Amino acid sequence: MASTTFYRILQFLLLGTFILGCFVTLFLMYGKPFISWLSGPVKSTVSTDRVKNLFSTKSDKNVTTVLIWLWPFGKTYDPSLCSSLFNIDGCFITADRKHYIKSDGVVIHHRDISPDLSNLPPFKQPSFQKWIWMNFESPSHLSQLPGIENLFNLTLNYRQDADIEVPYGSIVAAEGEEDFVPPSKNKLICWIIHAYGQAFGKYTSDQDYFPTIANDITEKLYNPLSVGTVPVVLGPSRKNYENFISRDSFIHVDDFSSPKELADYLLLLDKNEEMYLRYFEWRQHFKVKKAYFWAEHTCLACDYLRRVIQVSQAI
C-alpha cells in the first residue's frame, strides 16, 4: 500500500514539473519580458572603437589632415574647396583643434602669433606632424618673434625658395587664342596709395581699389593686369618683374630719366592707340591667374604633405 502511494506522489511531481516547464517555455517565447536583465541590451566584450578602426584605418591612411591653428587675420573661409576648385583630392582641412594629435600638418599664420608665443599649440608635436609657417608680408612689414626659429618644419609663402610656394598671382597659358579688348576708361592715371596710416580716424582698404602703380610684386600688380590696365611699376628691377609677367605688359619707371619723361610718355600713349594696344598683345595667348586667398594656400599645403607622405611610404 505504501509502495502504491509513493509511485502516485512521484508521478504527480513529474507531471507537475513537466507542466511547469512547458509554461515557463511558452512564457519566455511569447510573453513580454518584465525583468531588467531580460530586456537590457547585451554588452559586447569587443570595443566599438576597435570595430570602427577595422573599417576606417585604410581610408584614414588615404586622407591627409591639415589643421588651421590660427585663421589668417581672424578671417574664416570654407576649407572644403580643395577638390572642387584646385583638383586636389584626399584632403581634410579643418580648424577643429581636437584633430591636432592626428593632423599631418598644422598651418600657423605668422601675423596672428602672439608676441609671447602663448597662442601656439601647447601640446607635444607628434613625430610625423609638420608645423607650417605661413606668411605673405615682406620682411620690412614683418614683426620679429624671438623663439620661433626652430619651431617650424616647412614654409608657405610667396617666395620662390619656400617649401610651399604660393605667389600672389601668375601668368598662365590661355585655353585658346583670345580676342582681348581693353575696357573703356575715362581716366588717364589711377594712383592709389595702399596704406597711408591713420587720418581723421579712418583707414583705407586695399580691397576697394585696383592700383595701377605698384612697388612690389603682389596682388597690387596682378589686380590691374586682370582688369585690363597697364601697371606703372617701381621698386624691384625690370628684370625681376619680367621673371613673373610679360615684358610688354607693364611700364617701369626706371626706363625714364625723369618723372617728366614718364609723364610725357603716358600722354603719348593716351593719344596713340596703336602704341597703347601693344601692351595687351600678350592677352591673346595668356591670362592672369590670381591666388585664391586663403583656401588655395591650405590646399596646396595638403598637396605638398601628401606627396611627401607618398615618397616616405615608397622608401
Tally of CB atoms within 10 A around 51: 11
The answer to whether 212 touches 234, Cβ cutoff 8 Å, is: no
> Among candidates 197, 198, 223, which has minimal Cα distance to 209?
223
Distance CA 288, CA 246 (A): 11
Q: Given 137, 178, 261, 273, which residue is catalytic?
A: 137
Collect all residues with Cβ–Cβ distance below 8 Å to 257 and sequence separation of at least 6.
none
281 is catalytic: no
Distance CA 205, CA 305 (A): 34
The answer to whether 126 touches 145, Cβ cutoff 8 Å, is: no
The answer to whether 278 touches 284, Cβ cutoff 8 Å, is: no
Distance CA 207, CA 270 (A): 27
The SS3 of residue 86 is helix
Distance CA 170, CA 56 (A): 40
Q: Dihedral (C-alpha) 168, 170, 174, 177: value to the nearest 10 degrees?
A: 110
- Grid coordinates representing 185 are 576708361
- Grid coordinates representing 165 are 610656394
Distance CA 172, CA 169 (A): 10
Return the residue matching grid coordinates 611699376: 233
The SS3 of residue 176 is coil
Q: Which residues are part of the catalytic machinery?
A: 137
